[in-house]
Structure 1
Amino acid sequence: MNAMTELSFIHRFKPATESGRPPLLLLHGTGGNEDDLLPLSNMIAPGSALLSPRGKVLEGGMPRFFRRLQEGVFDEEDVRRRAQELADFIAQAREAYGLSAPVAVGFSNGANIAAAVLQLRPDALAGAVLLRAMVPLQDPPAVDLAGKPVLIVSGASDPIVPAENAKRLASLLTGAGAVVRHQMLPTGHGLSQADLTVTRAWIDQL
């Protein structure tokens, strides 16, 4: 596993060990880093190439991918800027490592920035797994996501993401043409074994 810093984000890259699997872009939650989701990736997509950047925004010393004004209230101007910045990094990394467009696997804050990239720079991603995602932009631009696969996994008792907010995100992405599967699990904001099982099955059929 090599840690590379010469691109625009501190990140880790792990080359594929199996052909035919899409590369994964791993996007951590608040307070995570570029190592956070690597163990998860072995369970959901063994053999895939992995690209795992560290969020550049610090909130009380904890890395995030964009600023928020308070819990559940995002600085949407910053969301837009950071989504563009992340899409530029994906393009750099694809060139540097010879990757096809990755499937984002994001948790919480990482899922929210992945959803924003889908809405602002759809060509950057081949698809996305959004674990505990919320609507990142209240007024997203019209975008064509025709046929792009998206899995949204929500927790029925998540204290941070209201169920109707997650449903609205699914509806927005479906309305833009994405092929969305929205799964509600009997869990909270943290990830469970069921998340891994659902995600692995979804990635396996891509």
Structure 2
Amino acid sequence: MTYQDQAPVAIISRNDESRLGTPLLVFLHGYGSNEQDLMGLSQQLPEEFTYLSVRAPLQAGPGYSWFPLTQEINYSIESVARSVEALWALLEPLSQQHSSITLLGFSQGMAMATSLARYQRDAIEAVVGLSGFAVDPKHLDLFDDAKLADKPLPMFWGRDLADPVITRDKIEYTLGWVPGHTELTSETYPQIGHSVCMEEIQDVADFLNRVVLKDK
């Protein structure tokens, strides 16, 4: 099943006129999870934002995924492209109603967040990636990395160096990609494994204040 087969499911922190003109932060959950998973983080993040959490389109066990994975975290780049285009179809109308769009993705959600920024750089203010990776586009024409080289993406990347889930090849590709395409804030958190911690979320809040809100 894809976005084309069903209406996207999302929850939003406020859905009245008070959200108009506010910065929008979009939560993108990890493989096998759902739109409820990350929404609680909004309680620890700046109140100036409106928070939108989107459910991935594909069934994956008890939850959902943005694109199919194997145990080795291989994936079809074409399936990534389809989900990126569908996610942008959901967010594009909202981009006209908010002052900016920032993406926060956990695990596979980080792959989606960085991919959408590579597709629509001018529309994305910043990306927060937690315990995840950026995808190797191979011969995919959807990504415009040249634009990111000219206009680097403000990005926060938090992880445990010993993350047991994200495979080494995915980390190595991401480490090679970020220097030429992002203005990177990188932090590591020993012993969190494939998860997040309160120290990390405070660092994310600081990043959002400094980069998106600019301490206003």
**Shorter chain as normaliser: what TM range?**
0.7 to 0.9
The answer on whether the counterparts of 1:170 and 1:182 sit within 8 Å (CA) in structure 2 is: no
What TM-score, normalized by structure 1, do the two folds share? 0.83
2:189 is matched with 185
| TM-score, normalization by structure 2 | 0.80
Q: Which amino acid aligns with 1:54?
A: R
Gaps of 5+ in 2: 1-5, 212-216
Instruction: Find the counterpart in structure 1 of residue 104 from structure 2.
Output: 105
Deviation at 1:115, TM superposition (A): 1.3
Give the deviation of 1:15 after TM superposition: 3.4
After superposition, residues 148-187 of structure 1 pair within 5 angstroms as: 148-162=153-167, 165-166=170-171, 168-176=173-181, 178-186=182-190, 187=192
Out of 185, 201, 204, the position equivalent to 1:199 is 204
Distance 1:20 1:195 in 2: 28
1:46 CA drift (Å)? 2.4
Structure 1 range deviating more: 158-167 or 83-92: 158-167
Evaluate the alpha carbon distance shift between residue 92 and residue 170 of structure 1 in structure 2; reply closer, same or farther with a 3 A threshold: farther
Task: Please report how far the alpha carbon of residue 124 of structure 1 lies from its aligned counterpart in structure 2 after TM superposition.
Answer: 3.6
How far apart, CA to CA, are the structure 1 residues paired with 2:98 and 2:21?
A: 12
Identity, in percent, stands at: 21
Is the Cα–Cα contact under 8 Å of residues 25 and 50 in structure 1 kept in the other structure?
yes
Runs of 4+ in 1 over 6 A off after TM superposition: 16-21
Contact kept? 1:158, 1:188, Cα under 8 Å: yes
Q: Distance in 2 between matches of 1:201 and 1:167?
A: 27
1:87–1:124 contact (8 Å) kept in structure 2: no
Amino acid at match of 2:185: R
Q: What RMSD in Å do the two structures reach over aligned CA positions?
A: 2.5
Superposed CA offset, 1:101-145 (max 9, x none)? 311011112111111112223234211000011232242644212
Would the alpha carbon gap of residues 179 and 19 (structure 1) be closer, same or farther in structure 2, given more than 3 Å must change? farther
Amino acid at match of 1:179: E
Which consecutive residues of structure 1, in runs of 5 or more, have no partner in the other structure?
1-6
